[in-house]
Structure 1
Amino acid sequence: MRITIAGGTGFVGKALMDELLKNNHEVNILTRRLKGSNGNDRIRYVQWLGEDSSPLQALEGTDIFINLAGESINGGRWTDQRKEKILTSRLDSVKELLNIISKLNTKPRTLINASAIGIYGTSFEKIFTEKENHGFGNDFLSETVRQWETEASRAAQQGVRTVFCRFGIILDKQEGALPKIAFPYKSFMGGPIGNGRQWMSWIHIDDVVKGISFIINNEQINGPVNFTAPNPVTMNEFGKTLASVLHRPHWLPVPGFALRLLLGEMSTLVVDGQKVLPEKLLENGYQFKYSNLQLALKNIFS
C-alpha cells in the first residue's frame, strides 16, 4: 500500500515508518521542509503546510493517511499561549489533510488520526472503554481531544473510513514519558507519585505500531480505538515494577501538591489518571505483544 504520514518524524512516526517499511509499504512523509533522499526508494518526503507547497500530485494514489502531527503536550508548563499552540497545531493539521483529501481524484481508504485517552477525563473508580458512553471530561486535555476528533470525523463525509487512536502512556526507552519517570529511580530517588492510587493506562511502543498496522489491515474497525495494554496498573504498582526491573528502591514519595505547584495544569498527566481498556482491539483479534508491565519494562531496559 501507499501510506502517507503527517508527523512522521516524531516519536511514534519514526517507529511506525520502520514497521511499515518492514511490511513492504511505500511511505510518504509530510514535512514542512524538504529533505534529501535517504537512499530508500520506498520513502518519499513531501512538503506541505507551506505557502509554496503543492503536495497533491505526490499524494495521488495514497491508500492510507495517518495523522500524528501536533505540538507535544509534554514540552513544558501549560501556559495559555502553549495551550493555544497544542490545540491549533492539531486542528490545523487535520484541516489541511481534509483539504488535500477533498482535492484528490481517488480518495484514500482510511484516515487514521492520533487521539488520546485524555478525552475521558480522570477517575479513580471508572473503567473506560470505547463502547461505553461515559461522557467526556471537562479539562483542557479532554476538550482538546474532543475538538481534534470532531474535526477529523469530517473525513467520513468524503467516504473515508476514519479511526481515532486514543493513545495511553506510550512506553519507550528514549522518548515519551518513561525516561522522565525512570530518571529518579536510576538516581536512587524513585517513589510513589501523588497518592499512588491513580491509574496508569500504558502501552509499549511496539504494540502502538503493530496495532496501527492491524487497523490498516482490518477495515471493519472504525471510530475510536483505545491504544492501551489490557492490564493497566496504579501509579504505585508501576513504580514498584519499574524499581524491580531497574534494581532500584521505591521509597521517596513525590507529593501531588508539589507536582501541581511545579507543573500547574500539566500535572494532571501524572497526578490524576484513568483506567482504560482496549476493548475494540481485543474484540477484533489483536494479540498484544506486551500485555504484562514487567515484561514490557524488561524489554525496554534490557
Structure 2
Amino acid sequence: MKIVIAGGSGFVGQVLVEILQSKGHEIIILSRSAKSAKKNTTYVKWLGDENAPENEIQYADAFINLAGVSINEGRWTTEHQKQIYDSRMIATDELLRIISALQKKPSVLVNASAIGIYPASTTTIYTEKSKEMATDFLAKTVHDWEMKAATVEEDQIRAVFMRFGVVLGMDGGALPLMALPYKLFGGGTVGSGEQWISWVHVKDVARALVFAIENTNLQGPVNVTSPFPQQMKYFGKTIGTVLNRPHWFPVPSFMMKIALGQKSALVLEGQHVLPTILQDNGFEFMFPTLKSALEDLL
C-alpha cells in the first residue's frame, strides 16, 4: 500500500515507519524540511504556503495523522497549551485539505487521539462504548481533534481515532522520567498510588496503527492500551523490580503540582481503560503485561 504519514519522525512515528518498511509498503512522510528518500520512504514538504504536497502523493491508500506538539514536553503554560491544541488543529486541517484535493481518495484516515478524553476515576472502567467525557484542557483537545478528523467521513472515507494510553518507550513519552528516580535509588509511589495507569508499549501502538489500516471493521474510537492497566503504586513497584531498585520514596501530590503545574494531572490522575475493540477484532499484544514491557524497554 501507499501510506502517507504526518508526524512520521516523532516518538511513535519512527517505530511505525520501521514496521511499514519491513512490510514493504510505500511510505510518504509529510515533513517541514526536505529530506532524501530512503528504503521505500519519501519525504514531502508540507505546512507552508509554497508547498502543494497533494501533487506528490496521488493514489495514496491510507493517511495516518500523528502530528502535533508533544504533551509530555515542557510545562503546561497557557502558551504551551495553545501550541498543543493549535498544532493538532492546523495539521488536521491541512491533511483534510490535501485529501480533498486528491483525485483518488484514500480508503482510511487513522488519526491519533488519547484516553485523556475520559474523566479521571479510580473506580470506573472505560471502553469505546463509554459516553463520559472529561472537561479539562486535554479532553477538549482530544474531542475537538476527533471531531475535526471525522469530517473526512463526508467523502466516504473510513475514520479511526486511536486513543493512546500512556505510551512506554525509551526514546520519548513518560517512561524515561518515571524510571529515572529508581535508577538513582529514589523511586516510590507518586501521589496517592490509587490512580490508574493505562499504559501501552510503543511497539504495540505502532502495530495497532497498522492493524487499523488493514482491518476495515475498525471505525471511530479505538482504545490503544494494554489489556492490563495498573495502579500507580504497582506500576512503580514493577519498575523497581525490573531495575532491581527499591520502591520506597513517596512523592506527595503537592510536590508534583509544584513541579509540573497543570501537567501534573498526567501522573496524579488516571483512567482505567480497556482495548475492547482491538481485542474483539483479534489484535494480539506483543507486550500485554507491564513486566514484559518494562523488561523489554529497561
TM-score, normalised relative to structure 1: 0.97
2:74 is the alignment partner of 1:85: no
Matches within 5 A, 1:218-237: 218-237=215-234
User: What's 2:123 paired with?
Assistant: 125
- The equivalent of 2:14 in structure 1 is 14
Between the aligned partners of 1:233 and 1:37, the Cα distance in structure 2 is 41
Match of 2:28?
Answer: 28
Q: Distance in 1 between matches of 2:232 and 2:171?
A: 20
Please state whether the residue corresponding to 1:185 is helix, strand or coil: helix
Q: How many residues align?
A: 298
C-alpha distance in structure 2 between counterparts of 1:208 and 1:174, whole Å: 14
Match of 2:100 in 1: 102
Q: Does 1:263 align with 2:260?
A: yes
Report matched runs for 1:47-62 at 5 Å.
47-62=45-60
Q: Can you list the C-alpha shifts for 1:159-181, whole angstroms capped at 9, x where unaligned?
A: 11000010001111232110000
Q: Does 1:43 align with 2:14?
A: no
Query: How far apart are the structure 2 equivalents of 1:21 and 1:217?
Result: 15
Offset of residue 157 of structure 1 = 0.6
SS at match of 1:59: coil
Select 1:187's aligned residue among 171, 184, 188.
184
CA distance in structure 1 between the aligned counterparts of 2:174 and 2:130, rounded to whole angstroms: 28
Q: Does 1:209 align with 2:206?
A: yes
1:285 matched residue in structure 2: 282
SS of 1:5's partner is: strand
Structure 1 residue 13: Cα displacement = 0.5
1:147 and 2:144 are equivalent in the alignment: yes
Letter in 2 for 1:15: V
- Structure 2 stretches lacking a partner, 5+ long: none
Match of 2:14, as an amino acid?
K
Cα deviation 1:204-234 (Å, max 9, x = unaligned): 1111111111111111110000000000000
**1:36, CA displacement in angstroms?**
2.3
Deviation at 1:197, TM superposition (A): 0.5
SS at match of 1:224: strand
The letter for the 1-side match of 2:107 is R
Q: How big is each residue's C-alpha offset from its partner over 1:237-284, in whole Å with a ceiling of 9 and x where there is no partner?
A: 000011000000000000011111221110000001010000000111
Match of 2:243 among 241, 246, 249: 246
Deviations 1:77-129 (A, max 9, x none): 11111111110100000110001111100000000000000011211111110
Letter of the structure 1 residue corresponding to residue 86 of structure 2:
T
Distance 2:210 2:52 in 1: 28
Q: CA RMSD in A?
A: 0.8
Q: 1:66: which partner in 2? A: 64
CA distance in structure 2 between the partners assigned to 1:267 and 1:93 by the alignment: 26
Structure 1 letter corresponding to 2:182? Y
4+ runs deviating over 2 angstroms: none
AA in 1 matched with 2:126: F
CA distance in 1, matches of 2:48, 2:265: 34
2:166 and 2:174 in contact (8 A); partners too: yes
8 Å Cα contact 2:11/2:171 also seen in 1: no
By how many angstroms is 1:35 displaced? 1.1
CA distance in 2, matches of 1:7, 1:114: 10
Q: 221-230 or 51-60: which moved more?
A: 51-60
Structure 2 CA distance, aligned partners of 1:273 and 1:56?
Answer: 40
Residue 99 of structure 1: SS of its match in structure 2? helix
- Structure 2 distance, partners of 1:13, 1:151, is 21
Instruction: Give the CA deviation at 1:193.
Output: 0.2
